A and B are shown apart, each in its own frame.
Chain A
Amino acid sequence: MRKKILVVDDDPDLVEAASIILKAMKYEVSAAYGGIEGLEKARNEKPDLIVLDVMMPDKDGYTVCKELKADPELSGIPVLLLTAVVSHIPITRYTRQMGMETEADDFIDKPVEPQALVERIEALLAKQ
């Protein structure tokens, strides 16, 4: 069965680009254009993985992630944070740098190389 991925970003162009990549890799894609909408879709659609932007005006990615992980029904869904920071640093370090406990499973910085995005997603799904 095709895995379903929810892409949450306030930039519709970015959502579109990510969707194209994921669809090309035969994933089913659902899109949300803000933190609140993202949470709603996550509850309703129970995706297999969420790609979540950090900087969003209505509710930022950290808060959304926290709420997802606090919800027993959703806490099992892997979350891949989309950030604007430099890559090559491990998630624990990134967490500490932000000075907050993000419970995200991994992060990747924008703009994303299609190959890298797919690799991270496959790795997270394989862990399930």
Chain B
Amino acid sequence: MPEQVKILVIDDEKMMREGCARILLRDGWTVLTAEDGHQGLEIIRRQPEEMDVILLDLMMPGMSGMEVLERVRDIDPNLLVIVITGYATVESAVEAMKKGAYDFTSKPFTPDQLRLGVKRALDKRLLQREADFLRRERERSLQDVATEKSKLKTIINCMEDGVLVCNSESCIVLTNPAFSRLLNVPESKLLGGISSECGLHSDLLTAIEKSLNIVDSGYTSISQELCIGNEGNLYLRANTAPVRSDNGEIIGSVTVLHDISYLKELDKMKSDFIAMVAHELRAPIATVEQQLNVILNKMAGETTEMQANLLSRAKERTRGVLDLIKDLLDLSKIETGKMVQYKEPIFLPDVINCVVERMSFEAATKKLSVQFLSTSSAPHINADRNSMEGIFTNLLSNAIKYTPEGGSIKVMLEDENSFVKVSVSDTGIGIKTEDISHIFDRFFRVKSSETRQIVGTGLGLSIVKSIVDAHFGSIMVKSAEGRGTTFTILFPKEAKSAECK
């Protein structure tokens, strides 16, 4: 009930008006009075919302109570009118009730009778207001839902990423124009169809199926790259994730497609550019080194010791540049997928032995001991031999570079379930904790007084990681500053390793 209850008494008799007012004021209600129909209607019109109950005398000179009642109903049919009948005529009361009066009371009445009648009317008014409030609330929230829905639909339709939502039966329930544009399937064909019957990419269908059948309750999304179109010029990243209900049950799946063709193209341009520049740089520098070789070997005449010294340092510099170029070429080869494409069953100890032997001279000049131990029963993996040599050459060369004279390097080959585990440990200067997360980054080199003198391109470990990745392996590093570093690589064993000895 609003703060202030307002009751209007319309009666031509002053006695009645004042009597009613007195009785009702006692309950703390506000009482307004009018001495005829016109005045009463005037008051009601001014504030129909605020009026709670109207006490209306039926027998009045001028406008009759019946007419006033009709007009009140016109203003607001919800207004509660209690008619007062001067003479106890049931007929007029019945007629008033038919015309919409809420109740009637006949003169003479006791204050309690009046109060009771008004109270009942007020209760009714309260219920009416509450119902009104609830109805408005409901309308508003329905409208909110509708607005929210339309807002979401607009957002989804405006997105440049493709969206596809399936229910648990793989039936497509929502999609957007970007989705049909990216996959070149008309939207009308998608909506309402079963996803497997809409000519979608098979990898996408597999992901949707998978996401609908995920068993564990954690958040899982399937991310994959799709190549669309015959020319293979459209690359999409597709993320598919299950939609769960409150109780964790999978009720559908959402797939979002993002066009990454431009990134792919840029990446390829970058790789091509690097390859082109590297080749162009390599030729002249190789020639310069060739010329230096000739002079250093005194084939172009005698050289003084000082000249030879200068020239051999010049050769060291060209060698450094050639190594960098080789690393860049390896990297661009890996990126274009050309590096690791000749996988064959290989026997890892052979590769490692070969690399250890090749590096032994370098190690010996620094008085480092290099040990190779294998406890693996079947160290066969399916790999690219050249890349494998690259990995161990890089790791061993790092170990040699960063281990002070007299230290030791150990290469271990062990079995670990279905993996072959190779570790390369040294007793070198180690890597700072804050640097460890960066050592596989391209061009990253640890900067310290100890490493300043060491030549390197900052590409070696990044290449190692790329090669390990391309062989579905993993690489980890553990290091203690000043004590040494261990690189550990896991390779999945060749399935038929027993046969390929």
Contacts and interface: CB of A to CB of B under 8 A. Distances in A.
B326 A97 contact: no
A88 B279 contact: no
A18 B294 CA distance: 8
Contacts of B289: 111
Contacts of A36: none
A81 to B, nearest CB: 15
A110 B290 contact: yes
B29 interface: no
A21 to B, nearest CB: 6
A55 B358 CA distance: 28
A111 B290 contact: yes
B290 A84 contact: no
B299 A84 contact: no
Interface in B284-300: 286-287, 289-291, 293-294, 297, 299-300
Given A13-B291, A97-B342, A21 B297 contact: yes
A17 B287 contact: yes
Contacts of B293: 17, 21, 111-114
B30 interface: no
Contacts of A24: 297, 299
Contact of B326 (A86, A89, A93, A111): A86
Interface in A9-35: 11, 13-14, 16-18, 20-21, 24
A86 B387 CA distance: 11
Nearest to A22: B299
A45 to B, nearest CB: 23
Contacts of B322: 111
A92 to B, nearest CB: 12
A96 interface: yes
Contact of A114 (B297, B326, B389): B297
A126 to B, nearest CB: 22
A16 B299 CA distance: 12
B282 interface: yes
B154 interface: no
Given A17-B291, A20-B300, A93-B385, A111 B342 contact: no
Nearest to A16: B291
Interface residues of A, number: 23
B12 to A, nearest CB: 115
B294 A20 contact: yes
Contacts of B279: 84
Contact size range, B: 20 to 34
Nearest to A10: B283
Given A11-B283, A20-B299, A84-B279, A89 B386 contact: yes
B291 A96 contact: no
Residue of A20, A89, A111 with most partner-chain B CB within 10 A: A111
Given A114-B297, A114-B299, A88 B358 contact: yes
B290 to A, nearest CB: 4
Tell me if A's interface is mostly helix, strand, loop or mixed.
Answer: helix
Interface string B366-390: 0000000000000000000110010
A55 B293 CA distance: 21
A2 to B, nearest CB: 17
Nearest to A94: B386
Interface string B333-373: 00000000010000000000000001000000000000000
Interface in B242-291: 279, 282-283, 286-287, 289-291
A82 to B, nearest CB: 10
A43 to B, nearest CB: 27
Contacts of B342: 96-97
B287 A14 contact: yes
A109 B321 CA distance: 16
Contacts of A112: 290, 293
Nearest to A96: B342
B297 A111 contact: no
Contacts of A18: 290
Contacts of B326: 86
A110 B386 CA distance: 18
A84 B282 CA distance: 8
A88 B359 CA distance: 13
A111 B296 CA distance: 13
Contacts of A111: 286-287, 289-290, 293, 318, 322
Nearest to B354: A88
Interface string A84-124: 10101100010011000000000000111111000000000
Contacts of B389: 88
A20 B297 CA distance: 11
Nearest to A17: B290
Contacts of A13: 287, 290-291
Give me the 7 closest cross-chain CB pairs, A-B, nearest first: A111-B289, A111-B290, A24-B299, A17-B290, A110-B286, A111-B286, A114-B297
15 contacts: A13-B287, A14-B290, A16-B291, A21-B293, A21-B299, A24-B299, A86-B386, A89-B386, A93-B386, A110-B286, A111-B287, A111-B318, A111-B322, A114-B294, A115-B297
Interface of B: 279, 282-283, 286-287, 289-291, 293-294, 297, 299-300, 318, 322, 326, 342, 358, 385-386, 389
Interface of A: 11, 13-14, 16-18, 20-21, 24, 55, 84, 86, 88-89, 93, 96-97, 110-115
Given A20-B300, A24-B297, A88-B358, 20 more contacts: A13-B290, A16-B291, A17-B293, A17-B294, A18-B290, A21-B294, A21-B299, A84-B282, A84-B283, A86-B326, A89-B385, A89-B386, A97-B342, A97-B386, A110-B287, A111-B287, A111-B322, A112-B293, A113-B293, A114-B299
